[in-house]
Chain A
Amino acid sequence: METRDDEEQFFPHGAVAFFVLFVALCLVIWYGIYFLMLART
Chain B
Amino acid sequence: MNRYKMLGWKFKPVAPKQAIRVNVMNVEGVNVVERLERLGFKLEKIHFIERGYWVKRSSFSIGATIEYLLGYYSIQEAAAQIPATLFTDLKGKTVLDACAAPGGKTVQLADLMDNTGVIVALDVKSRRLNALANQLERCRVKNAIVYGLDAREASKLGVKFDRILLDVPCSGNFAMDKDWFKRRTIDDVHRNARLQRQILAEAAKVLKTSGEIVYATCSLEPEEDELNIDWAVKNLGLKTVEINCYGEESPTEIFGKRLDSSVRNCRRIWPGETQGFFVCKLERQR
Do A and B come together as binding partners? Answer: no
